[in-house]
Chain A
Amino acid sequence: MSELPPIPRPEQLPLPPAGGPRKIILPPHRERARRPWRIRAREWVNRNLFPSLTGTILTLVSAGFLGVLFIGVVWFVFFDANWNVITANRWLLFAGSFPREEAWRLWTSIALVMFLIGLAYGTWSSLGRRDSLFIVLTGGFVIFLMAHGDATIWSSIWFLAAIGFLYFGYYLTVWMPRETSPRRVLQQRVVGGLLAISLPLVLVILMVAGGANTRQFDGFVLNLILAPVGIVGGLVVAIPLALGRASNMKTIKWTCTAYIEVVRGAPLLGWLFVALFILDDIMGGDLIIRTMVVLAVFTGAYMAEYIRGGLQALPRGQYEAAQAVGLNKLQSMQLIILPQALRISIPPIVGQAIAIWKDTTLVTVILTLRELKGNADSAIAQSEFIPDRIEAYVFVAVVFWVVAFMMSRVSQRVERAQGIGER
């Protein structure tokens, strides 16, 4: 029997030619991504802009439309519009009849709120490059408005200081490691507590010791006061309502349902009508206080529905588990049910908060309160600015848009951080 050929050992296999390029095969999408950017750009354009004849036509039509729109906007903003109506009335728009010599109270409040926002960002999130760009642009816009013309240089300095406070608060908290530790818990508690008392604190700063009275809240300041009152008050009203509607006691369930449905049945203007004519008999008080009550009552009914949705979305097992570990009703609500239900209902609640922010404009319509839009009406009632209605309203729209857009972005970030919708 002849000898079998020897089995080749691994090290005896022929080596790849020395010095030649070593070919690494990547998955197709990585291979495509490695090509030069020119080719990738051309491919992107081909796929996204000119995929077919209809696609090309669509692109051309859209491009034409966008071009016309862009030229129109640029022409309006830089050549056609007369922005004097804004710059000449900026204090009117900003704070209206708020006494000017008490302006430091406003600026202190704004700096405080900015500081708290910075603290909150540093504690739970982080300022990305986009956020900073947005803040800088918004700040530039505000300062451009304020520093135009006479004696308002101080306002822009104040505003710069407020932005400085935002970053100060941010860097004060952001260095803390995010792992749970006693210090981290303390930090979260302190910042949360500060946020919780910020609204009364601001009202105190504005009103205490010879400050403004409630009738002097005016202009954009009024929007900035009414919206948080509506949101916070709404939440306070909404949680018991939602629990009541989900309750199995008939009387509680029915009255809460009736409340929610009746409030949701009429438009906000109708309820402000109530604040103006009917609530006066029931609770008296200043019109602005009545308006705040109505805003809270109105928002509460909508938020209650969203929280009820969160309660219903919780698996039955959560209730049973809470019972099984021996918690009583109050404890299980407070520790197990509500935290989860509120977490589920964050997105619609923020949506409602944005809605109430936009709806603060409605107090101008039938009430005698003058917020930003109402003061824009006063601005264009002056004889020299009568032709500048569009400019005034565009300005108001942009201001509201900026804040609403910021709120929606923050809500998206909270959703992502909480992992809502990912379970």
Chain B
Amino acid sequence: MSAQAQHSGDVPLFYRRGFRNVLQQAIYVAATAIVAWYVYTSLDLRDFGFGFLSEPAGFAVGSQWLTEVDGVTSSRLEIYLVGVWASLRAVMVAILLSTVVGVFIGVARLSSNFLLSKMATLFVEIFRNTPLLVQVVLWYAVLLVGAPVIQDVVNVGDFFFLSNRGIAIPWPVPSGGLWGVPDWFVGVWVLVLIAAALVAMRVRASRQEIERETGQPHYPNRWAFSIFAGAALISFLLLGVVVSIDRPILDGTQYAEGMVIKPEFAALVLGLTAYTGAFIAEIVRGSIQALPRGQTEAANAIGLSGYQRLTLIILPQALRQMIPSVTNQYLNVNKNSSLAYAVLYDDLFRVATVIQNKAGHALEMFFVIIVTYMIISFAISAVMNVFNARVTANRL
């Protein structure tokens, strides 16, 4: 008989740790089960099921891009996926822009230039302490009321149009090209571009390696850029100019052709960008300030310029610290994109509520919404984890 068992033999059963542990958990599980059972029985589950998603939608959504889904023939699931794609577009653009804005403002806040740093502080304090919903509707109001009506549209050389119907810009579209190739050749070209980018990155890495070993300049960036640009140009001409630039045209009171950035989308992205940018700026500032002062002094001592000091010494080190917090902000962008509802941009949440409005099934629709948001969040976290691993891998 082991010492443990001998010891526990002296203690009454009720006071033994293992028994206590099991008892507490049993009570907890029973209580949770009772609550869950109560919730389950009080829900209206008579026609629970996801079959309603395959019925025809019966409503149209705006905010389509690269998709042509009309509400009459397509199913509810298809129209929901259109909403998901609309959300993804807004989230991607907002993440990209807010990162740029955040890094710029965060660095500007630490500038030794008095005016610049105060301006950055003003930006952060304004946009961080105002509700995002109000910001989004305010941008929307500015874009609707502030911009000229379509009759006096601002026309920049028949190239850009600006009115309260949105901004129309030229956009590349697939075309038959010189040898009359089919439209899908543009896909071939995109694949060639991706391959060229990969090759260019390899060349850049290898030349950087040589540079590090020999100490002689081998111009990795110039090489990479030339390879990519050359490959893009040659393949573009060889495949027969598969892309043409589609210039916007004003057709009465509507835009035709080109790419139209609608005010709803612009308001959402502007709001998300300014709001998240302010938070990212604070993260950037915090992680730069957390670096030891010696880093700045060392960079000054070896004679780097201000720009070199920032891009070669400070930001790469601060990056390691800010990635977790910035990832969190990206996840917030994803969740906050549901505010599209307030400006009538047909994102996934709005489309889902419209479906729920038409078909009922609130519980199923909520499952669909939460699962979609979780999948997108998971994708963002996964990408950022890969990035994080790459950044922290070559720690000195």
Given the complex of chains A and B, what is the CA–CA distance between A270 and B348 in angstroms? 11
Q: Assuming the A-B contacts A48-B114, A262-B370, A389-B145, are A281 and B338 also in contact, with contact meaning beta carbons closer than 8 angstroms in the complex?
A: no
Closest B residue to A387 by beta carbon equals: B145
Interface residues of B in 5-52 (CB under 8 A from A): 21, 24-25, 28-29, 32, 38-39, 42-44
A401 touches B129 (CB 8 A): yes
Q: How large is the interface on B (under 10, 10 to 19, 20 to 34, 35 or more residues)?
A: 35 or more
Indicate whether B161 reaches chain A with its CB closer than 8 angstroms. no
Within 8 Å by CB of B349, from A59, A255, A270, A282, lies: A270
Q: Assuming the A-B contacts A265-B377, A282-B39, A390-B145, are A404 and B28 also in contact, with contact meaning beta carbons closer than 8 angstroms in the complex?
A: no
Q: How large is the interface on A (under 10, 10 to 19, 20 to 34, 35 or more residues)?
A: 35 or more
Given the complex of chains A and B, what is the CA–CA distance between A55 and B117 in angstroms? 12
Given the complex of chains A and B, what is the CA–CA distance between A364 and B141 in angstroms? 17
A362 touches B39 (CB 8 A): no
Min CB–CB distance B342 → chain A (angstroms): 5
Interface residues of A in 251-297 (CB under 8 A from B): 251-252, 255, 262, 265-270, 273-274, 277-278, 281-282
Residues of A within 8 A of B43 (CB): 278, 281-282
Interface of B, helix, strand, loop or mixed by DSSP: helix
Within 8 Å by CB of B138, from A63, A364, A394, lies: A394
Min CB–CB distance A386 → chain B (angstroms): 10
Interface of A, helix, strand, loop or mixed by DSSP: helix
Residues of B within 8 A of A136 (CB): none
Closest B residue to A393 by beta carbon equals: B138
A265 touches B362 (CB 8 A): no
A390 touches B142 (CB 8 A): yes
Q: Assuming the A-B contacts A270-B338, A278-B366, A390-B141, are A49 and B133 also in contact, with contact meaning beta carbons closer than 8 angstroms in the complex?
A: no
Residues of B within 8 A of A250 (CB): 25
Within 8 Å by CB of B113, from A48, A249, A362, lies: A48
B39 touches A59 (CB 8 A): no
Q: Assuming the A-B contacts A278-B43, A366-B353, A393-B138, are A404 and B114 also in contact, with contact meaning beta carbons closer than 8 angstroms in the complex?
A: no
Q: Assuming the A-B contacts A389-B145, A390-B138, are A269 and B339 also in contact, with contact meaning beta carbons closer than 8 angstroms in the complex?
A: yes
A273 touches B369 (CB 8 A): yes
Closest A residue to B132 by beta carbon equals: A358
Per-residue CB proximity of A23-57 to B under 8 Å, as 1/0?
Answer: 00000000000000000000000011101001100
Q: Which of A252, A274, A397 has the most CB of B within 10 A?
A: A397
Residues of B within 8 A of A47 (CB): 112
Q: Assuming the A-B contacts A265-B374, A267-B336, are A249 and B21 also in contact, with contact meaning beta carbons closer than 8 angstroms in the complex?
A: yes
Q: Which residues of A contact B (CB under 8 A)?
A: 47-49, 51, 54-55, 58-59, 62-63, 65-66, 249-252, 255, 262, 265-270, 273-274, 277-278, 281-282, 354, 358-359, 361-362, 364-366, 373, 387, 389-390, 393-394, 396-397, 400-401, 404-405, 408
Q: Which residues of B contact A (CB under 8 A)?
A: 21, 24-25, 28-29, 32, 38-39, 42-44, 111-116, 119, 125-126, 129-135, 137-138, 141-142, 144-146, 306, 335-336, 338-339, 341-342, 349, 353, 356, 362-363, 366, 369-370, 373-374, 377
